[in-house]
Chain A
Amino acid sequence: MNLTLAKVNSLPVPTWFRLGINDTQLSETIPEVHPYEGEYLSAERPENVEISFDPFPAPDLSTGMGDGARNFTEDNRTCGVTVRVPDGVKAGKPVFLTFHLDETNPSVLDVNTVIAGEGSEVTVVMSYESRSDFFGFHGGLTRLYAEKNAVIRLIQVQMLGDGCLHYDDVGAQCGENGEVSVIQAELGGKNAAAGLKAVLKGRKSRLNLDTIYFGDRGRSIDINYVAQHVGSASRSEIHASGALLDESRKTFRGTIDFLKGAKRAVGHESEYSLLFSPKVVNRSAPLILCAEEDVEGQHAASAGKIDSNRLFYLMSRGLSELEARKLLIEAQFRPVTDRIPDPALRSAVSDYVKVRLEAIEPVSE
């Protein structure tokens, strides 16, 4: 079937149209969609946490990728879970969801909801995998509701094959002193998109968002993050880093939006791109929108080559230039991947990046 989603990952306020960064379009022929066959929820589950396969009748909660993507995912849902954590429950183990794209499940559209009751804590780990030569489609929609004093940790790792179209669309809402922490690793796929919008409604609510991306070959990555500060003393930390090789393309949009009344709110955003090929396309639009005086908003972005001093240091220790570069790419990802709670998944991510780095050797040299 044909998938065409226009106005995806829109900037909250547009800028010059000719820059082509205001939004993107996803247009692809995707395999037929039918219900997911097989298990994707790990048998090992935390106690006192209610997990159901029924979709959550979501109230209106906007997401990073916009209405088009959200409606499409919901309308074509093939799988997904609703996780409810009762008040005061701190889930000892993560909820693991592993989605395999293969001939049985060539198109996966998962819709997931996490509701963390007052004072509760939960971690949800999602991974998307396929064979490296597989052609498939994944669209994910995840809604997070962190109520007063609740903490939700979401980890999403995408390691799909070179023929896949993929998107992760997230919407989050935090009550008073609630926290949403998200790690996204956008590592594979042919075209990958990710969007997240967090509404920091409550006083002292928090968003922590760390993302890593890895572009090689002709891969395209399109990201849109929005932290909307409503509550006073709310805090957002958005940090992205990645590497681009070969003819890959990346667009990063990150917005800190201070609404009137978000007094003493703090928003920090950074993006660091390592560039390894004269043919990469690296685009960034870090925005701060501010309607409240008593806030602190900062963003920083940098892009360029690996620092020559660091490279020289490693080469003086006996590494070849290529080995040194690979080590530095891995090192850039490490602070984020180290926070994946499952050792097997952490190791899989590490291996996945290594394989990709090995594969690019004959192309880059």
Chain B
Amino acid sequence: MHKRKTQVEDIDRTVYDIRDRVDPSYQVGQGLTAKIVNEISAAKNDPEWMRLFRLKSLQVYNRLQLPGWGPPLDGLNMDEIVTYIRPNTGMKAKWNEVPDDIKNTFERLGIPEAERKSLAGVGAQYDSEVVYHNVREEVSRQGVVYTDMESAIRDPEYGPMVRKHFMKLVPPEDHKFAALHGAVWSGGSFVYVPPGVNVEIPLQSYFRLNAPGAGQFEHTLILVSEGASLHFIEGCSAPKYNVANLHAGCVELFVGKNARLRYSTIENWSKNMYNLNTKRAVVEEGGTIEWVSGSFGSHVSYLYPMSILKGEGSRMEFTGITFAGKGQSLDTGAKVVHAAPHTYSSINTKSISKDGGRCTYRSAVNILPNAYGCKSSVSCESLMLDDRSRSDTIPVMDIRNDDVDVGHEAKIGRISDDAIFYLMSRGISEEDAKAMIVTGFAEPIAKELPVEYAVEMNNLIKLEMEGSIG
């Protein structure tokens, strides 16, 4: 009997793909030169230390090679990328002051509504600049600082704090796109949570890239002090163009002693995007970093949030899902360094590939010599929905002492016949059984995503069962 293939719908991108008229107030030329870097620095009125930092980063960029592993980057030509585009507005603290066309874009994406319903503060970046920033008064009264990076750098109180931490966790020498970020970064968020403060409802930044052939290089710096806690959410999208766009953001998270930070992201860029983002956290004694990551969009992604468990008893949990469809190569995973005793890490990922999409799970677990009494658990599962797609797992474990407990499990394949048989033996039809299994595959990850992303997530993993898989 001819098997009808299961239909797993592509993401409905209608809302993301609406393009605004490109009407910047200022932009630099294509490519990457010292002149352009100086132009960006001048346009942003950088302090001198930042201008010099940018130029040094440019030197590093020119020195470093492209990565010799991972998906090809042939379609990315830096000579054609515009690294700074200032929208035709300044930063506003009220939605009604944001120009209509930009405001409408964020309205369509549901950002103002989410802010009203469930967020303590929102920052919205459009191309290279933050156009809206607001934080609830009661959160401000707790001493929480949530602002754009440019304001933070120039702030007399927080400027020194930014300078102390900026690209210290992800130095420009780390890799070519970290260096690129250091040279041309703009926009992004600065968050400071004072000691002992629990921010009960999440903060959210949303990044929208509108211009074709542009890059977005926002920088996120979050400092969660001792005993404090925060949930921070990032979302991002862009309309699809037939030229390459580039996202090379950088996220640096500092989690203090006994502090907790949950960092949730849905990376849902358009399918012409090269998403080469770098995210890193350092966690002090007794602190916890939780990553929740959904990777759906982009043409190519390199995305591996890294956690450095620096303090004794610190913890990391990573939960991620990746969905690659036609024309996509999503290389995702996580890295963790156990640099202190009695640290704990858990990585749990799932991926689905279809229509020729390619998912790669890549990870590294490093346990350093002094990090005794550590535990690490890694689990990754991949589901392939057709034989035009590809799914690879490339994990590495590097253990340098004997007082550890490290476990790793991975599975790739199709839906288990045994599981279908089990469900059918309970009276469920074969088709329903298969539908349950595919839906259930993603569910453990989906339930970890923030509520305000539920609709988006549902669209992304909408599985319409209409026959059998395989």
Return B136 CB to nearest CB of chain A, in Å. Answer: 41
Q: Which residues of A contact B401 (CB under 8 A)?
A: 275, 278-280
Q: Which residues of B contact A284 (CB under 8 A)?
A: 396-397, 408
Decide if B399 touches A303 in the complex (CB within 8 Å).
yes
Does B134 sit at the interface, judged by CB under 8 A?
A: no
Whether A304 touches B404, Cβ cut-off 8 Å, given contacts A287-B392, A293-B384, A293-B386, is: yes
Decide if B384 touches A290 in the complex (CB within 8 Å).
yes
Does A298 sit at the interface, judged by CB under 8 A?
A: yes
Q: Which residues of B contact A51 (CB under 8 A)?
A: none
Does B31 sit at the interface, judged by CB under 8 A?
A: no
Decide if A286 touches B410 in the complex (CB within 8 Å).
yes
Tell me whether chain B's interface is mostly helix, strand or loop, or mixed: strand
Q: How far is the CA of A160 from the CA of B396 in the complex (A)?
A: 29
Q: How far is the CA of A305 from the CA of B410 in the complex (A)?
A: 22
Does A2 sit at the interface, judged by CB under 8 A?
A: no
Decide if B392 touches A283 in the complex (CB within 8 Å).
no
Q: How far is the CA of A258 from the CA of B391 in the complex (A)?
A: 10
Decide if A19 touches B364 in the complex (CB within 8 Å).
yes
Decide if B392 touches A289 in the complex (CB within 8 Å).
yes
Decide if B411 touches A298 in the complex (CB within 8 Å).
yes
Q: Which residues of A contact B470 (CB under 8 A)?
A: 293-294
The interface bits of chain A over 19-44 (1 if a CB of B lies within 8 angstroms of the residue's CB, else 0) are 10110000000000000000000000
Q: How far is the CA of A302 from the CA of B377 in the complex (A)?
A: 9
Does A56 sit at the interface, judged by CB under 8 A?
A: no
Q: Which residues of A contact B382 (CB under 8 A)?
A: 290
Interface centre among B364, B369, B402 (most CB of A within 10 A): B402
Decide if A299 touches B410 in the complex (CB within 8 Å).
yes
Whether A290 touches B396, Cβ cut-off 8 Å, given contacts A15-B69, A19-B364, A280-B402, is: no
The interface bits of chain B over 388-411 (1 if a CB of A lies within 8 angstroms of the residue's CB, else 0) are 011111111111111111111111
Decide if B404 touches A292 in the complex (CB within 8 Å).
no
Q: How far is the CA of A290 from the CA of B382 in the complex (A)?
A: 10
Q: Which residues of A contact B390 (CB under 8 A)?
A: 290-291
Q: Which residues of A contact B364 (CB under 8 A)?
A: 15-16, 19
Does A238 sit at the interface, judged by CB under 8 A?
A: no
Residues of B in contact with A, size category: 35 or more
Does B412 sit at the interface, judged by CB under 8 A?
A: yes
Does B434 sit at the interface, judged by CB under 8 A?
A: no
Decide if B405 touches A288 in the complex (CB within 8 Å).
no
Q: How many residues of A contact B (CB 8 A)?
A: 45
The interface bits of chain A over 163-201 (1 if a CB of B lies within 8 angstroms of the residue's CB, else 0) are 000000000000000000000000000000000000000
Q: Which residues of B contact A277 (CB under 8 A)?
A: 402
Does B240 sit at the interface, judged by CB under 8 A?
A: no
Q: How far is the CA of A302 from the CA of B395 in the complex (A)?
A: 13
Return A173 CB to nearest CB of chain B, in Å. Answer: 24
Which single residue of chain A is at the shortest CB-CB distance from B399? A282
Q: Which residues of A contact B427 (CB under 8 A)?
A: none
Which single residue of chain A is at the shortest CB-CB distance from B354? A293
Decide if B413 touches A295 in the complex (CB within 8 Å).
yes
Whether A291 touches B387, Cβ cut-off 8 Å, given contacts A19-B396, A283-B397, A305-B402, is: yes
Does A355 sit at the interface, judged by CB under 8 A?
A: no
Q: Which residues of B contact A302 (CB under 8 A)?
A: 405-408
Q: How far is the CA of A286 from the CA of B364 in the complex (A)?
A: 11
Return B110 CB to nearest CB of chain A, in Å. Answer: 35
Decide if A278 touches B397 in the complex (CB within 8 Å).
no
Decide if B403 touches A278 in the complex (CB within 8 Å).
yes
Q: Which residues of B contact A297 (CB under 8 A)?
A: 410-413
Decide if A13 touches B68 in the complex (CB within 8 Å).
no
Whether A21 touches B400, Cβ cut-off 8 Å, given contacts A16-B364, A295-B414, is: no
Q: Which residues of B contact A283 (CB under 8 A)?
A: 396-399
Q: Which residues of B contact A286 (CB under 8 A)?
A: 395, 408, 410
Which single residue of chain A is at the shortest CB-CB distance from B470? A294
Q: Which residues of A contact B442 (CB under 8 A)?
A: none
Does A276 sit at the interface, judged by CB under 8 A?
A: yes
The interface bits of chain A over 290-330 (1 if a CB of B lies within 8 angstroms of the residue's CB, else 0) are 11111111111111110000000000000000000000000
Does B309 sit at the interface, judged by CB under 8 A?
A: no
8 shortest interchain CB distances as A-B pairs? A275-B402, A293-B384, A297-B412, A14-B69, A282-B399, A304-B405, A301-B408, A296-B413
Using a CB–CB cutoff of 8 Å, the interface residues on chain B facing chain A are 68-69, 362, 364, 369, 372, 382, 384-387, 389-414, 470
Give me 26 A-to-B residue pairs in the complex whose CB atoms sit less than 8 angstroms apart, sorted by A's number. Answer: A13-B392, A14-B68, A15-B394, A15-B396, A17-B69, A19-B364, A21-B398, A275-B402, A278-B369, A280-B400, A280-B401, A283-B396, A283-B398, A285-B397, A287-B392, A287-B393, A288-B393, A288-B410, A290-B391, A292-B387, A293-B387, A296-B411, A297-B410, A297-B413, A299-B408, A303-B399
Using a CB–CB cutoff of 8 Å, the interface residues on chain A facing chain B are 11, 13-17, 19, 21-22, 244, 258, 260, 263, 273, 275-305
List 13 extra interface pairs beyond A283-B396, A302-B405, CB under 8 A: A14-B68, A258-B412, A275-B402, A290-B382, A290-B413, A293-B386, A295-B412, A296-B413, A300-B408, A300-B410, A302-B408, A303-B399, A305-B403
